[in-house]
């Protein structure tokens, strides 16, 4: 079963020093629609919601995919002409493209490159020219230190894939809502929802916007504050029962445009006079405001629908450049700890068993060498030094045999006698040369000699004949050319 864990991140606190400490965060665990269809379950296209609530990061359930929704107030969405550069060089050039749009230092910001931004009035000629040069791309700017703190906090969470999405792109598009593709129904009215304070309606050419309003206290962690202290001097926890003094507003005006604001009560009332017409979503506190006449309920189905639509476009992911997920990060190494520990234990046992077996064989070798040495010294007590007992024993036996007048099978006379018996059927001129060296006969036969019959006769006489393929030694023949013919090595063999 493939699962996805959606987690909404709080907005970055501007009045608190680092390190930031996260409390309980809102989450939703969803079983993907593909996995549900494989089980023949009737589920919506967005998947089946398994769990939702608030929990610290250490208590969040594991999932195959982790989707972190960054607050819209922390992500600046802009567009610029991005030159076609390599990723390393593009990373260095991006701060120069957005520094005019930022009030802070652009070098301290993380800039993600989104899809190509649509241009009004673009023709085929300009499109062809843009394909060869800089393209107007969507840029998403956020603070690098904040993203680093978030990813470090989720470093121990069990997941295979990770995504960072801006919250403004996790709201469903209003045009799809008006066509009946939305999941949320209006809370107070059946017609298109819009703020009562909006003096003018949007022009037909402008698409309706999607606006989400929620109390800042509930948009953060409902069970615990973000930092060690409270949210601020004027902040109120979710458990106090008082209305939150700040509102978190998320607006999506077009497919690739959106922004977020943190507003007080007075600022919210003033902003509503300039708000774009569209569909409003809100939590309980926002639905109770008298300035909003039609508000749809804002819950996880709304965020999940927009987030899954954004996941279909990988370029909307903020996890780029320094925050891109590597191959090692895609696999949950914790799940492999038990198999790796078992493999390491088996390897250690194997190495220990090999060393024990080697020690046993070494002891047996020592015992055999000691027995050979004792046997050699018992047979030849005057042996001064024992280095190779089998070889020394063989040499001593040969010396005793020679001293007694008995020849060995590899002496010249026994070899020559047996070879003469085997070559009785040879022509008189078949043997060109015969030499004894290295306790073997080296015979050179005339070309055309029947060597097969000779080898069979030599085998019956207790000899072995092997063809000598080594180059001929001209130094032994007095410097003259070696006799032409086949050369053979004759040694003692077994009687057949």
The per-residue pLDDT for range 400-450, each reduced to its tens digit, is 877 777 777 778 888 888 889 988 888 888 888 899 988 899 999 988 888
The per-residue pLDDT for range 163-194, each reduced to its tens digit, is 999 999 999 987 644 443 333 333 333 333 34
Please state the separation of Cα 131 from the chain's center in Å. Answer: 33
Nearest Cα neighbor of 4 from 68, 59, 56 is 68
The per-residue pLDDT for range 255-298, each reduced to its tens digit, is 899 999 988 888 888 888 888 888 999 988 888 888 887 889 99
The per-residue pLDDT for range 375-398, each reduced to its tens digit, is 999 998 888 888 899 999 988 888
Q: What is the pLDDT of residue 354?
A: 97
Q: Is 288 exposed, middle or buried (0-12, 13-18, 19+ CB in 10 A)?
A: exposed
| Confidence category of residue 305, pLDDT binned at 50, 70, 90 | very high
The per-residue pLDDT for range 22-67, each reduced to its tens digit, is 889 999 999 986 544 444 444 445 678 999 999 999 999 999 999 9
DSSP string spanning 253-301? EETTEEEEEEEEHHHHHHHHTTPPSEEEEE-HHHHT-TT-S--EE--HH
Q: What is the pLDDT of residue 293?
A: 78
Nearest Cα neighbor of 148 from 41, 292, 342, 12 is 12
Token look-up 């009215």 returns: 189
* Alpha carbons 377 and 434: distance in angstroms, whole number: 40
| Confidence category of residue 369, pLDDT binned at 50, 70, 90 | very high
pTM: 0.59
Topology, domain 412-473+480-492? Gyrase A; domain 2 (3.30.1360)
Q: Which CATH number fits domain 3-33+44-118+132-172+298-325: 3.30.420.380, 2.60.40.10, 3.50.50.60, 3.30.70.2860?
A: 3.30.420.380
* Arithmetic mean of pLDDT, 71-92: 90
Domain extent listing, the chain: 3-33+44-118+132-172+298-325, 343-404, 412-473+480-492
């Amino acid at each position: 079963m493939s699962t996805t864990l959606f987690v909404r991140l709080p907005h970055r606190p501007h009045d608190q020093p680092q390190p930031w400490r996260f409390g309980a965060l809102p989450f939703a665990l969803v079983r993907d629609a593909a996995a549900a269809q494989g089980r023949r379950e009737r589920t919506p296209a967005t998947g089946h919601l398994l769990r939702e609530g608030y929990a610290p990061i250490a208590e969040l359930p594991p999932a195959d995919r982790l989707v972190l929704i960054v607050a819209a107030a922390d992500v600046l969405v802009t567009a610029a002409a991005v030159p076609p550069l390599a990723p390393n060089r593009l990373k260095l050039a991006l701060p120069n493209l957005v520094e005019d749009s930022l009030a802070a230092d652009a070098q301290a910001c993380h800039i993600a490159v989104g899809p190509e931004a649509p241009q009004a009035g673009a023709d085929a000629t300009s499109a062809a020219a843009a394909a060869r040069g800089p393209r107007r791309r969507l840029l998403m700017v956020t603070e690098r230190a904040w993203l680093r703190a978030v990813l470090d906090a989720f470093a121990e969470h069990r997941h295979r894939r990770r995504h960072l999405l801006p919250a403004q792109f996790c709201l469903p598009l209003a045009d799809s809502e008006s066509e009946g593709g939305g999941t949320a129904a209006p809370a107070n009215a059946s017609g298109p929802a819009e703020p009562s304070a909006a003096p003018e309606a949007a022009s037909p050419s402008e698409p309706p916007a999607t606006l989400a309003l929620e109390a800042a206290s509930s948009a953060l962690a409902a069970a615990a504050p973000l930092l060690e202290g409270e949210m601020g001097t004027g902040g109120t926890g979710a458990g106090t029962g008082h209305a939150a003094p700040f509102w978190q507003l998320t607006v999506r005006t077009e497919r690739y445009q959106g922004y977020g604001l943190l507003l007080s009560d007075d600022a919210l009332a003033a902003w509503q006079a300039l708000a774009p017409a569209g569909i409003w979503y809100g939590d309980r506190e926002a639905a109770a405001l008298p300035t909003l006449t039609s508000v749809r309920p804002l819950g996880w189905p709304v965020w999940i629908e927009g987030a899954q639509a954004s996941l279909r476009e990988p370029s909307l992911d903020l996890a780029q450049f320094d925050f891109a997920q590597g191959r090692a990060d895609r696999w949950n190494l914790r799940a492999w700890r038990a198999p790796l520990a078992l493999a390491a234990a088996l390897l250690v046992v194997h190495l220990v068993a090999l060393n024990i077996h080697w020690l046993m064989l070494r002891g047996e070798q020592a015992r055999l060498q000691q027995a050979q040495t004792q046997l050699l010294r018992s047979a030849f007590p005057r042996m001064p030094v024992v280095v190779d007992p089998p070889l020394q024993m063989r040499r001593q036996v040969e010396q005793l045999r020679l001293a007694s007048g008995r020849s060995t099978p590899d002496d010249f006379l026994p070899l020559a006698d047996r070879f003469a018996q085997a070559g009785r059927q040879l022509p008189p001129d078949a043997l060109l040369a015969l030499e004894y060296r290295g306790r073997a006969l080296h015979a050179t036969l005339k070309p055309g000699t029947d060597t097969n019959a000779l080898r069979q006769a030599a085998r019956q006489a207790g000899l072995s004949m092997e063809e000598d393929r080594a180059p001929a030694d001209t130094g032994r023949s007095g410097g003259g050319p070696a006799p032409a013919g086949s050369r053979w090595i004759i040694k003692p063999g077994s009687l057949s």
